[in-house]
Structure 1
């Protein structure tokens, strides 16, 4: 039997590269990536994957084959920075999702959409707290509507604060765990945005990929959350690292909580198997990558 063609948008990014790597390792898939390299990197390329450079809004011109499945991960994905980057947010998230949905509708394949857990933040009010959160929340509605309007098969997943190898460590798009690792390596204070009591459910990249593959193969519909049950405040995380803490002023769009909606994913057999404390301990043993 011929391998199934799978397209991963954002396949050169943090989560996307791990997904490509897993699919190649599993066998049975011919894996393609479509990425504009905004936060993705050629350093994340995986042997056995075919890489296409370009914007998701141009997917119909760039992809000349019929995939069995599209994992749509390639969108803008930062909360606080989205206020300054609103034009990029619109181009990558709104223009992109329409073109991708039209593509899968015409091709007749399934789409797995990576939504954002900000949609569930602060009792649901988090969905409009930032340009990023709003575009992601409304995109999930459009995906569901394409399912209802055009019978497009879909599954929507929600990640919760992903950490692990290949995170962006520096610059305005750095993620928290990687940022703290880099600051510990340099002997710099760990910055905590006030009030510091905001809770997050940090989830290891391998657990995220376990869930993505499982939902991609077996899940249909909305609310496939992929998140660890363990929740920590940002101050608690900084204390786990053990460095000096420097408090920063509050920022717009910074939600306080986000409920983990994972029952449907667990029903498929998924559970989080890695812990943040074990990961931080491994970084400490490695002397923070020095």
Structure 2
């Protein structure tokens, strides 16, 4: 059904802006809601002239009264630097934001998708992580505002499903990267690229042997759309990520190669509760969404590096 009215919270963010773009391309009307804590106008500037696109500055911790058919709830700072800046607000965004968006979905009988996270697994003792794994989360650590906030949001989604028969979808996002990442978000891909382009030392925490799996943003947005389009009985949670695992040191070496940087790799102490391994089991995504990621890390990094080169040159930063 083309021409749906779709609300995207966190729509001016890294992933939200690309989702807005894809929804417009398929003929939908998009209401982009963002409080611009980590999102930026630059990400959606090119969409403002589209008559089917509307931008609203709003914080999801306050109720929202609009008429929509579908809701993608992406609102929440997603990098440790940003979500630890105001941990109480981070928890409120995940929990009260979920309550407000679920209340809206109930009122207008809309389908609603929750962008959850692999952080619900904490520092996993099971590898790779299937959706049935309950996780190993420190409930009062410095990452708990995000980890537990997202876990509570999932609880709320399932309770609204049981109590009000609400059509819900939950996807758990593993490490995702691509153009429009925030240059100062402290995430490993953006960190390494910015450091390499500036010719600075690349900071690896610990010895760099911890692993991550990196999913390119186009693959992830495609999974969002497929998850929303599933039948009512498909609720998730569904892991969305690239199961190909890399060590952090391998990523640093690849970024140095692709940027032709003279940067050196230096080690720093490992942050508290930093997961040692992170790899999604995506069997459910393959079965329920007919989805697998198609973008190789090298290919995605080339596009992401080009974006940051352009961004830094606009900001007058000397590269190398």
- TM-score computed with the length of structure 2 as normaliser: 0.82
C-alpha deviation, 1:81, in angstroms? 5.3
> Any idea what SS the aligned residue of 2:66 has?
coil
C-alpha distance in 1 between matches for 2:105 and 2:306: 46
Q: 1:247 aligns with which of 254, 267, 278?
A: 267
Q: In the alignment, what sits opposite 2:260?
A: none
Q: Within 1, Cα distance between the matches of 2:2 and 2:301?
A: 42
Distance 2:24 2:283 in 1: 28
Unmatched runs of 5 consecutive residues or more in structure 2: 126-134, 257-262, 311-318
Preserved contact between residue 252 and residue 265 of structure 2 (Cα < 8 Å)? yes
Q: 1:13-52 counterparts in 2 under 5 A?
A: 13-27=13-27, 29-45=28-44, 46-47=47-48, 48=50, 49-52=53-56
Tell whether 2:206 aligns with 1:205. Answer: no
Q: Which moved more, 1:224-233 or 1:10-19?
A: 224-233
Per-residue Cα deviation, 1:89-109 (whole angstroms, up to 9, x for no partner):
123112211111111112211
Query: 2:305, 2:91 → 1: CA distance?
Result: 39
Q: Give deviations 1:99-150, integer Å, cap 9, x for gaps.
A: 1111111221111000011122413104745221111112111111111111
Equivalent residue, structure 2, for 1:191: 203
Residue 105 and residue 234 in structure 1: after superposition, are their counterparts in 2 closer, same or farther (change >3 A)?
same
1:137-176 paired onto structure 2 within 5 Å: 137-170=151-184, 173-176=185-188
Per the alignment, residue 181 of structure 1 pairs with: 193
Q: Which runs of 5+ in 1 are unaligned?
A: none
Alignment partner, residue 70 of structure 2: 69
Paired residues in the alignment total 284
* Pair 1:286–1:95, CA change in 2 (3 A): closer
User: In 1, are the aligned partners of 2:210 and 2:276 still within 8 Å (CA)?
Assistant: yes
CA deviation profile, 1:25-54 (whole Å, cap 9, x unmatched): 111x11111110000011111242200101
Match of 2:136 in 1: 125
State the distance in 1 between where 2:111 and 2:14 align.
22
Q: Are 2:230 and 1:218 aligned? A: yes
Question: Do 1:80 and 1:253's aligned partners in 2 also have CA atoms closer than 8 Å?
Answer: no
Structure 2 CA distance for partners of 1:79 and 1:11, relative to 1, 3 Å: same
| Partners of 2:7 and 2:308 in 1: CA distance | 37
Structure 1 residue 276 corresponds to structure 2 residue 297: yes
Alignment of 1:57-96 (within 5 A): 57-60=61-64, 63-65=65-67, 67-79=68-80, 82-96=83-97
Residue aligned with 1:17, SS? helix
Which residue is 2:276 aligned to? 256
**1:215 offset after TM fit, Å?**
0.5
